[in-house]
Chains A and B, each alone.
Chain A
C-alpha cells in the first residue's frame, strides 16, 4: 500500500477572462430565467410601481401641481415621472439583496463558491440580471405614465439619456443591496433591511415634491444626496434646465450623479465580493 500516489488531473483552474465572462453570462441567464418561469414575480414587481405612479399622481397631483417649476408644464405627472424612475430604480435594486438571500438559504451560493469559477461572477451576474429586469419594469411604468399624460419637454434623446442615467444608478445601488443581502442572509429579514436603507433616501429627496419647503437641516441633506442629484439630472434631461434648483446646471447634475454612482461602485463592488468570499449560509 505504501508509495501509492494520488492520481492528479491537470488542474483546470478557472477564472481566466473569457471563463469569467461566460460564468457571468450563465448566472445572468439563470436569474432572468426565474422571472420568465415564475412570471408572477415580474408582474407583481411591475404592478407595484404602476400603483405608486397612479396613486401619487392622482392623490398628490392636484395639491402639488401649482407649486412646481414652469418646466413641468403645469402637470404633476411630468414632474413625478423622472422622480419615480429613480425611485423604482432604487427599490428595484433591492431585488439584488432578496435574490442573494434566497440563493444563500437554498445552499446555491455554497455550491457556486465550491466551483472553480471567478468569485465575482455570481454577484456580477446577479446585478446584471437585476439591471435588465429593472430596465423592463421602468420602461413599463414609463409607458403607463405616457398613457396618463406624461410628455417629455425636451427631446426624445433627453428621455433616453435620463433612462440610461437611472439605470446606471440602479446598477450601483444593486451593489449596496448585494452587500446588505450577503450580510443579512435571511430572506425575510432582508426586506425590512432594504426598506430601511432605501425609504429615507427616496422620501427625503426631490422625488415627490420640490425640496424648498423642507426644514433647513433636512433640505441640506435632501438637496445633496445621490437620489435627489440623480432625479434632478433626469429632470434636467427630460424637462429642461428650468426644473433644477437655481444655480444648478443639467451637465453639473449629470456629472455629480455619475460621480455618486462611481463612488458607490468603487466602495461596494470590492466590499460585496469580499463579503461573498466569506459568506456561508
Chain B
C-alpha cells in the first residue's frame, strides 16, 4: 500500500465523561482515493472528521494527515486540508464569488490571487453564471457546491466532506457526486461520511463502517459484501406460512434463515448461487408454499450493515414509504 495520507491510531473521544464518541478507532488509507465513513446518525463520523480537521482534540491516540501530526502541529495541518461540514457554511447575504474570495483572503492569498482562484473554482463547480448573485437565491444543491468550492480554495491535499449530500434533492446529489469524482481524478484525496449505503457503494474506493464510535469493518465495497459470503436469496410469504417456510428452508440450508421483524422478509445465504435458488424453489413447491416475492441478489451494503451491527442504518426514515420496493427502510433494531 502506498504511504498513507491519512493515518488514525487508537483515537478515543468521550463526551460528557460517559458517551464514547470514538472508541479506539484505527484506520489508514492512501492518497488519491475516496474513503467513505459509513454509519448511522451519532455513530461518531462527524467526531472523527473534527479530530482530523483540528477542531476537536481526542483524549488519546494519534492522527496524521498528509504527513503532518494533526494533534502536535494543527497549524501546519490546516494548510493541507479542506473541510465542508454538514451544513453549507456560506453567508447567504454575500454573493457566491464574495464567499469564495473571502475564504481565499482568510487562507492567506492576496486579493488578486483570491479573485482568480474564486473565478476558477466557480467555473469548476458550474456556478459561474450565478457567481454574482447573493447566495440566498441559490438552491440547496448550489449552496452545497459553493461550500465545496470554498473548501477547495487552499488546494487541499485531503478534502473532508461531512455528509456532502444530506438534505439535497436527488439531481443535485448526482451533481455533487460527479464533482467529488472529478476532484479525485485531479489528484485530491477525499474522506467523506455518509449514512447512505448507496452513496458509499457508488463513490467510495474503500469504506469504513462505524457504529457507536467503533470501527466495525473496513475494506472495499466488495470486501464488505463478501463478509456475507456471496449472494443471498430473499423471499416473502403469506404471514400464516412463515413458520412452514422457515422449516422448509432449514432442511436445505446449513445456515439459519433470518427474518426481518419489520418487513417480514426472509433471507438465506445462496451458497451456490442459482443452484441454491433452484433448491429453494423446489423446497417451497413440495411444501405447497407460493412465495409473494422471491429474488436472488448480491448482498447490498444494507445487508452488510445489518449483519455487522445487528441494526440498520438510515435511522432518519421513521415511516416506511407506501411502496418500499426493494430498498429496505432501515431503523434501529
Interface residues of B in 107-165 (CB under 8 A from A): 107-108, 134, 150-151, 154-155, 157
The smallest beta-carbon distance between B160 and chain A, in angstroms, is 8
Interface string of B80-108 (1 = CB under 8 A from A): 11110111111101100010001101111
Are B81 and A117 in contact, CB atoms less than 8 angstroms apart? Answer: no
Are A110 and B108 in contact, CB atoms less than 8 angstroms apart? Answer: no
Are A113 and B2 in contact, CB atoms less than 8 angstroms apart? Answer: no
The smallest beta-carbon distance between B32 and chain A, in angstroms, is 10
Are B76 and A13 in contact, CB atoms less than 8 angstroms apart? Answer: yes
Instruction: Tell which of B51-59, B235-243, B261-269 binds the partner.
Output: B51-59
Assembled-state Cα–Cα distance A33/B99 (Å)? 12
Assembled-state Cα–Cα distance A57/B219 (Å)? 73
Does A231 touch B at the CB level, under 8 Å? no
Are A110 and B89 in contact, CB atoms less than 8 angstroms apart? Answer: yes
Assembled-state Cα–Cα distance A34/B99 (Å)? 12
Interface residues of A in 114-135 (CB under 8 A from B): 114-117, 121
* Contact A37/B86 with A113-B54, A114-B54 known, Cβ cut-off 8 Å: no
Assembled-state Cα–Cα distance A79/B24 (Å)? 64
Q: Nearest residue in B to A1 (C-beta to C-beta)?
A: B2
Q: Nearest residue in B to A6 (C-beta to C-beta)?
A: B67
For the A-B complex, the count of residue pairs with Cβ-Cβ distances under 8 Å equals 108
Does A106 touch B at the CB level, under 8 Å? yes
Are B3 and A11 in contact, CB atoms less than 8 angstroms apart? Answer: no
Instruction: Tell which of A15-23, A88-96, A166-174, A253-261 binds the partner.
Output: A15-23
The smallest beta-carbon distance between A177 and chain B, in angstroms, is 21
Assembled-state Cα–Cα distance A4/B56 (Å)? 30
Residues of chain A contacted by B134 (CB below 8 angstroms): 37
Does B1 touch A at the CB level, under 8 Å? yes
Does A26 touch B at the CB level, under 8 Å? yes
The smallest beta-carbon distance between B167 and chain A, in angstroms, is 13
Does A38 touch B at the CB level, under 8 Å? yes
Within the complex, which residue of B2, B54, B57, B89 is in contact with A106, where a contact is CB–CB below 8 Å? Answer: B89
Assembled-state Cα–Cα distance A22/B78 (Å)? 18
Are A106 and B83 in contact, CB atoms less than 8 angstroms apart? Answer: no
Are B91 and A30 in contact, CB atoms less than 8 angstroms apart? Answer: yes
The smallest beta-carbon distance between A73 and chain B, in angstroms, is 44
Interface residues of B in 1-42 (CB under 8 A from A): 1-3, 5, 30-31
Within the complex, which residue of B3, B79, B94 is in contact with A13, where a contact is CB–CB below 8 Å? Answer: B79
* Contact A6/B78 with A110-B85, A114-B53 known, Cβ cut-off 8 Å: no
Are B108 and A14 in contact, CB atoms less than 8 angstroms apart? Answer: yes
Does A112 touch B at the CB level, under 8 Å? yes
Does B75 touch A at the CB level, under 8 Å? yes
Residues of chain B contacted by A113 (CB below 8 angstroms): 54-55
Are A8 and B55 in contact, CB atoms less than 8 angstroms apart? Answer: no
Are B87 and A117 in contact, CB atoms less than 8 angstroms apart? Answer: no
* Contact A116/B93 with A4-B2, A110-B55 known, Cβ cut-off 8 Å: no
The smallest beta-carbon distance between B119 and chain A, in angstroms, is 18
The smallest beta-carbon distance between B77 and chain A, in angstroms, is 9
* Contact A116/B86 with A30-B94, A33-B93, A33-B94 known, Cβ cut-off 8 Å: no
Residues of chain B contacted by A112 (CB below 8 angstroms): 106
Does A74 touch B at the CB level, under 8 Å? no
Are B67 and A23 in contact, CB atoms less than 8 angstroms apart? Answer: no
The smallest beta-carbon distance between A21 and chain B, in angstroms, is 12
Does B173 touch A at the CB level, under 8 Å? no
Are A9 and B79 in contact, CB atoms less than 8 angstroms apart? Answer: yes
* Contact A114/B31 with A5-B3, A30-B94, A30-B102 known, Cβ cut-off 8 Å: no
Are B55 and A23 in contact, CB atoms less than 8 angstroms apart? Answer: no
Does A107 touch B at the CB level, under 8 Å? yes
Residues of chain B contacted by A4 (CB below 8 angstroms): 2-3, 30
Are B2 and A114 in contact, CB atoms less than 8 angstroms apart? Answer: no
Residues of chain A contacted by B157 (CB below 8 angstroms): 6-7, 9
For A5, A12, A112, the residue with the greatest tally of chain B CB atoms inside 10 Å of its CB is: A12
Q: Nearest residue in B to A121 (C-beta to C-beta)?
A: B106
Q: Nearest residue in B to A109 (C-beta to C-beta)?
A: B89
Assembled-state Cα–Cα distance A108/B107 (Å)? 14
Are B2 and A111 in contact, CB atoms less than 8 angstroms apart? Answer: no
Residues of chain A contacted by B85 (CB below 8 angstroms): 107, 110-111
Are A6 and B31 in contact, CB atoms less than 8 angstroms apart? Answer: yes
Does A55 touch B at the CB level, under 8 Å? no
Assembled-state Cα–Cα distance A278/B79 (Å)? 19
Are B86 and A6 in contact, CB atoms less than 8 angstroms apart? Answer: no
Assembled-state Cα–Cα distance A27/B91 (Å)? 12
Assembled-state Cα–Cα distance A45/B333 (Å)? 51
Assembled-state Cα–Cα distance A121/B106 (Å)? 9
Does A280 touch B at the CB level, under 8 Å? yes
Does B328 touch A at the CB level, under 8 Å? no
Are B79 and A111 in contact, CB atoms less than 8 angstroms apart? Answer: no
Residues of chain A contacted by B93 (CB below 8 angstroms): 33-34, 37-38
The smallest beta-carbon distance between B3 and chain A, in angstroms, is 5
Assembled-state Cα–Cα distance A58/B233 (Å)? 83
Assembled-state Cα–Cα distance A15/B74 (Å)? 13
A: which residues have CB within 8 A of B?
Answer: 1-9, 11-15, 19, 22-23, 26-27, 30, 33-34, 37-38, 106-108, 110-117, 121, 278, 280
A-B contact pairs, 24 of them (CB 8 A): A2-B1, A2-B2, A9-B155, A11-B76, A12-B154, A14-B79, A26-B102, A33-B93, A33-B94, A33-B98, A34-B91, A37-B93, A37-B134, A107-B89, A110-B50, A110-B53, A111-B85, A111-B103, A113-B55, A115-B106, A115-B107, A115-B154, A116-B79, A117-B108
Q: Give 10 nearest A-B pairs by CB, closest first.
A: A107-B89, A37-B93, A116-B78, A114-B83, A111-B89, A107-B85, A4-B2, A107-B87, A11-B76, A26-B105
